[in-house]
Each structure stands twice: as C-alpha cells, then as structure tokens.
Chains A and B, each alone.
Chain A
Amino acid sequence: MIRHIFTLMWNRRRANGLLVLEIFLAYVVLFAVGTIGSSLWENYRQPLGFRFDNVWQVNFLPGTQPKAEALGTLQQVLARLRATPGVLGVAVTASNTPFSFNDSRTAIDFADRPGGPKRPINNINSYAVGPELRDVMGLEVTKGRWFDQRDAVAGSHPPLVIDEQMQRAMFPTGESALGKLLTLNKDKQWRIIGVVRAYRTDGELKEPLPAIFGPIAPADTLFLPQSLLVRVAPGSGAALEKRLADDIRRIGPGWTSTIRTLDEMHSSQLKQVITRPLLLSVMSIFLLLNVALGLFGVLWLAISARRAELGVRRALGAPAGAIARLIVGETLALTTFGLVLGLLVAVQFPLLGALGERTSVYLTAIALAAGALYLLATICALYPSRLAAGIRPAVALREE
C-alpha cells in the first residue's frame, strides 16, 4: 500500500507541486525555529551554577574621587555593608555580574601536554572576583578549592579557578586541570587551584561558555571594582535597600550607586533574550496555519474531484478504513516529498558547521520540524479522510 501511495503521489507530482513547495518552505522555517528553540532548551538544561534569589547587585561610581582614595572608601563601604543587619554576605566583582549584559571575554591557545599542538579556546568568560563570591552566589566547587587566605601571599603564579566547561575544553580526555599552569594575557602564567560547576552570568538561555576566575585581593591597590553582589536575608525589601544606598552616599561623598535585585535583572534579561525567538515562532505559526489551510483545502477539493475514483476503489473491495488510510497516506507522502527537499537544505548546516551551532541542536531541530510537519499533515488529513471514507460508492459511481 505504501508503494502504491508513493507511486500515485509521484505520478501526481505536477498537480501537487505548489503544495510540496509550501511544505518545503514550512519545513525550512520550522527548522530555523526548531534550531533556536532546541538551542535555548539545550542551554536551559545546563546548570546555571549559582543561586540568585535574595542577591542584590550594587553598582557605584566614585565620581571625581582619585582611585587610591576610592579604594580606601570601598573598604569602608564593604565593612559597613557587611555589618548591616539583614546583609548575609558581600562580594566585590568586576562589572560582568549575572544578567547584566556586561562581559569580559578572552581567548587562549592551549596545549594539553608539553610540546603538544596548541588548540584555540575561544570565548572564555573572564571574571575578577573577591573570595566572598562563592558564598554569596552559592558556587559549587567540584575539584580543588576556592580562593582563600593562602592566596593573599603573592606567589610566582597567581591562582586561578576555572569552571567545568573550561576544564573540558582544556582536557577533553578528562585529565585534571588542577595544578596546571595557564598562560593568559602577556605571557603571565596562572596556576589552576580549583574547578567550580559553572557560573553562567549570561543567563540560562545563552550558550554556556568556559569561565575563568581571577581573585581580587582585599589589599589590591590596582583594580577598583565597581560592582558588589550582596546576599540579603529573605524578605529584605525597600527599607534595607534605602539604608544601603544611604550608607554608601554617606561614606563616599560624590559616589553614586544603583541597587537592583538579581531577580529583576534576570526577568529583564530573559525578556530580551526571548523576544526574537518568540517573534519568529509567531511568524512560523502563521506560516504553519497557511500550510494547514492549503493542505486542508487541497485535500477537500481532491476528495470532491476523486469521488468516482474512491467509489471504484470501494467497488473493488476497499473497506471504508482503507480509503481513510489512503487519504492520510497520500497526505503524508506529499509531506515527505516537501520534507525531503527541506532536509537537503537542513543537513547542510551540521555538515558545514554553519552558524557555529552544536550538531546535536541541528539534529534535534531536523527531527522536531519533521515531526511537527507530519503531525500537522495528519491532523489536516483526518477530516477529509473521514469524508472520503463516508462516500457511498453507488452514489459516487452514478454521479460520474
């Protein structure tokens, strides 16, 4: 029966050409939407690596205060905030805080054995953080250790913490990165002392990137961080926010500060990231609706035009169920023709490595788009197939 259906639809390919073209276009759009959706889902499934509930971000600008003075003022601010009731912890950090749309990226060429070939590791998120960040953000150290007092003593190789993705990028075979030296900017070498699960400040929907962490020592006199992450007691609200802002203003005259909760920043970032895929999804829904109406209309018309043929099939021994299956089968065969064309386009992306997306994402999108089209075609064919099955053969043959 399957061969019969494909033979029939192949012989009718000219009559169904436009519909096949429409199915092909729908597949390509669905593939695009599927790729974006699948990519977002794959990203979402990866651990974020930190907890952002009850964490506030404090950004400040020291105004015209000289840097050396501002560093001293910052120490006072930190001491004040840490002593404030309701504040559970305060960490200094560079401005690439979670959900802030700020990033600091670097790239290295890395050889996983002495004298071995160097591989590029690109798009590494680089964080300068205070040692309190682990507790404030709830980072999970999976190997080695986080920064502590031992790192206050300047050594030949400053300490570096990496995340698990960086570990995998450096040593795909699973060898531990602990104790290894990593050459970063200007040939300065850093010793890896620990590995954390993740720290995806770009948010859960963005592709996870490898991360490295360098410490901001309390006595650092060169780098003036301008962001603080503050963990507050659950239920803290406007009163605490006002108190923190007042304290900063009082300690640092001329300083300006803004306080936002990471919850707010997360929502805002989520909206921005998801807007484009949502628009594309809405467009694809309209296109699918168009395909569905086209399929439905063509099938309905075909049933009317083929009443005699269906009557003959019934006369030759086809039960009503076989007629219904024939119509659904023909629709799926048409869908397959359009889909094969679409697949020829879609497979080019993983084969050519286009757009830098993961192969698994493309393969998922290919399957999802095909599944969605088959589902749509089946739904569209159900009612016309029932109509066809209900044709009374004697009436259909008499009409002819």
Chain B
Amino acid sequence: MQPQPTTAPAPPAATATPPVIQLTGIEKVYQTSTIETVALSNVNLSINRGEFVSVMGPSGCGKSTLLSLMGLLDEPSGGTIAIDGRPVGSYSDKELAGLRNHKIGFVFQSYHLINDLSVRDNVELPLLYRPGIGGSERRRRALAALDKVGLTARTGHFPAQLSGGQRQRVAIARALVGEPEIILADEPTGNLDSVMGEEIMDLLLGLNRAQGTTLVMVTHDEQQALKTGRLVRFFDGRQVA
C-alpha cells in the first residue's frame, strides 16, 4: 500500500516537548595541513517532532554537513547537538550507533544500496544491528516496509535490476524499517527525473502526514521545498532564513 500524495504540508507539532533535534551554536571546520574550511558557523536550529523541514542552499553551503551532524555521523567542531533534549557530545561510539539505529533513518541521493544484497536483505540491514530481532521478524518487518513503498513484487531482485525511482523506494523502505522518529534525506530526488522525483516526494510527504515521522530533507528543488512545513536556507555555512 502506497501513501497518498499530499499537497498541504503537515502542521508543526506542539513544542511543549523538547525539540527532537536541537543544534546550538554549531561550528564545523574541516582542517588540512594547509587549509581550513569553515563548513558551518554558529548554526542554531531546532527540529520539532512531526515537522517536515527542507534545507536549501547553493552547493558547498554546508547542507550535507548539517545533515551529517544531525544524523550523528560526524562531530561538530563547536556547539552542542541534543536529541530529545539530551546532549550527545559525551556519547560513546556504541551509544551514538544505537541512537542512529533506533531514532534515525537515512535516505541518500545516490541510494547507497548494497548491490550484492537483494532488495529484502538491503531493507533488513538496520535491523541487523538491533539486538534481539530474529531472522523471521526481520523478514516480516522488511516486507512490511517494502509494502509501504509499493515494492513487494521486487523483494528478491538486486539493486542493479531496478530503476532509479525503485532504488530510492528501497532506500526509503530501509530508512523506515526500524520505525525511526526522524528521517534525514539528502537530496532524495536529485538523481531522478521529475516524474519519479514527484513520486518520492509524495511518499515522504505521506510518511510525514500519515505516521508523523519527522523529516529533514536537503534539496535544490524550490517546488519540493515549498511542499514541506518549513524551509531553512543556508549560505556559506550560515543559516540565512
């Protein structure tokens, strides 16, 4: 069953609870022996539960770095990141991995599916790193996630046998399978034609509307960004809107 396309963005959730992601005074500097590149500077951003936020800006403005920091894939050079109100700066690698596994789902522009694994095995992947879930349960949940993105007929296929849109659907199913509260999507429609891009966008909007999943999406597409609940713009590592 596919989620129904929506035209109106979901309303932001009430802010009585702490933001699901809060960035305070975030700095990110990439340093080599000869050059220092400031990717993000003094970023303060809160993402509330159930929000669908799009992030826009020119290439190199720090959008993907922002997503990496939100997804706990990288550490900031300064400032604090809090998930559900709890700063994660002192968390160990294992604790961060646990948070990523339980709370966050990733969707990438180039899908990042593992070509040597079938569609179903790709979707099962996040559950593999979640203790206590057996093989049959993993399979059940993977099939349920594939059902949500309308790909139950392709479970035994390999990524190379799918179109770009289908691959991105698999990637979304993989992000959904662990039932995360947050999905971080880095240009999810960037490699797709407009029709497929619309399909994927409708799918993400449906997830936000139907399940209340919090979404942060990096995009270059103004039209898609306007469909989301909030638009954040970046320029030269700074939040400008």
Query: Which A residues form the contact surface with B (CB < 8 A)?
Result: 1, 3-4, 7-8, 11-12, 308-309, 311-322, 392-395, 397-398, 400
Contact A315 B106 (CB under 8 A): yes
A317 contacts B126, C-beta separation under 8 Å = yes
Q: Which residues of B contact A (CB under 8 A)?
A: 64-65, 68, 71, 73-74, 93-94, 97-98, 100-102, 106, 108, 110, 112, 114, 116-117, 121, 124-126, 128-130, 135, 174, 178
Known: A3-B135, A7-B121. A319 touches B129 (CB 8 A): yes
Q: Which of B73, B101, B174 has the most CB of A within 10 A?
A: B73
Which single residue of chain B is at the shortest CB-CB distance from A10? B116
Contact of A309 among B114, B121, B126, B174 (CB under 8 A): B114
Q: How far is the CB of B39 from chain A (nearest CB, A)?
A: 10
Whether the Cβ atoms of A317 and B94 lie closer than 8 Å is no
- The answer for the CA separation of A311 and B174 in the assembled complex, in Å, is 15
Q: How far is the CA of A315 from the CA of B98 in the complex (A)?
A: 10
- Sample of 19 A–B contacts (CB below 8 Å): A1-B128, A4-B124, A11-B116, A12-B116, A311-B73, A311-B112, A312-B106, A312-B114, A315-B100, A316-B100, A317-B101, A317-B130, A318-B97, A318-B129, A322-B129, A393-B74, A394-B74, A397-B73, A398-B64
Say whether chain B's binding surface is mostly helix, strand, loop, or mixed. helix
- Taking a contact as CB atoms under 8 Å apart, the answer to whether B74 and A392 are in contact is yes
Given A309-B112, A311-B112, 6 more contacts at CB 8 Å?
A: A11-B117, A311-B73, A314-B73, A315-B73, A316-B126, A398-B64
In the complex the two chains form, what is the Cα distance from A313 to B100 in whole Å? 10
Whether B73 lies near A316 (C-beta < 8 A) is no
A395 closest partner in B (C-beta): B74
- By Cβ-Cβ distance, the 10 closest A-B pairs, closest first, are A317-B101, A394-B74, A394-B68, A319-B97, A11-B116, A394-B73, A316-B126, A312-B112, A317-B129, A393-B73
B106 and A316 form a contact (CB under 8 A): yes
Chain A contacts of B97 at CB under 8 A?
A: 314, 317-320, 322
Give bound CA distance, A309 to B122, whole Å. Answer: 11
Q: Which residues of A contact B100 (CB under 8 A)?
A: 314-317
Q: What separation, in Å, do the CA atoms of A12 and B121 have in the docked complex? A: 14
Q: Can you name the residue of chain A whose Cβ is closest to the Cβ of B175? A: A316
A394 to B74: give the CA distance in the assembly, Å: 6
Q: Distance (Å) between the CB of A390 and the closest chain B CB? A: 11
Q: How far is the CB of A324 from chain B (nearest CB, A)?
A: 11
User: Whole-angstrom distance between the alpha carbons of A313 and B135 in the complex?
Assistant: 18
A314–B101 alpha-carbon span in the complex (Å):
9
When distances are taken between beta carbons in the complex, the residues of chain B under 8 Å from A314 are 73, 97, 100
With A393-B73, A394-B73 as known contacts, state yes or no: A316 contacts B117, CB within 8 Å.
no
Does the CB pair B116–A308 fall under 8 Å? Answer: no
Residue of B nearest to A317 (CB): B101
- The distance from the CB of B188 to the nearest CB of chain A, in whole angstroms, is 14
> A1–B106 Cα gap in the complex (Å)?
21
With A3-B135, A308-B112, A309-B112 as contacts: A316 and B71 at CB distance below 8 Å: no
With a cutoff of 8 Å between Cβ atoms, the chain B residues found around residue A313 in the complex are: 125, 129
Contacts of B112 in A (CB 8 A): 308-309, 311-312, 397, 400
Contacts of B117 in A (CB 8 A): 7-8, 11
